[in-house]
Amino acid sequence: MIWAQAVDFSELSGDKVTCSIGAIVRVTDGATGTVELRLRGDDDKPDGTPVAAIVTNSAQDEIKAARADITKPSGPTLMKLVASTASTPGSVIASGKSMSFRSR
């Protein structure tokens, strides 16, 4: 898991929220890597409901972004970034990460 934090959505107006993520990503050893923004789950586990995903199979740094509209959660909600690979050996490396949440 890369990041986990409670986000208070009660301050946003409307019924929908646009969730956006961005990162500089790359993989090692020919892997395919994914960085996902996930909703809820346990703060110390790579679980939760996937909301938006960045996928790469590049060994060179790539700037990638993803976004999705979701129904606005009520109140403080655990949001997290989770990195995974579809194969081993190999890993996904994510730097320069950004996240934003805005009303729709």
Let me know how long the chain is. Answer: 104
Element (H, E) at 49: strand 49-56
CATH number at residue 17: 2.60.120.1340
Digit-coded pLDDT (tens) for 17-42: 999 999 999 999 999 999 999 999 99
For residue range 42-79, list pLDDT tens digits in order. Answer: 988 999 999 999 999 999 999 999 999 999 999 899 99
Q: Please provide the distance, in angstroms rounded to a whole number, between the alpha carbons at the two ends of the chain.
A: 28
**Structure tokens of 40?**
């809820």
Model-level pTM? 0.92
Residue 1 has pLDDT above 90, yes or no: no
The structural domain count of the chain equals 1
The more confident residue out of 99 and 43 is: 99
What pLDDT was estimated at residue 2? 92
User: Residue 104 has what pLDDT?
Assistant: 85
At residue 38, the pLDDT reads 97
| Domain enclosing residue 7, as ranges | 3-103
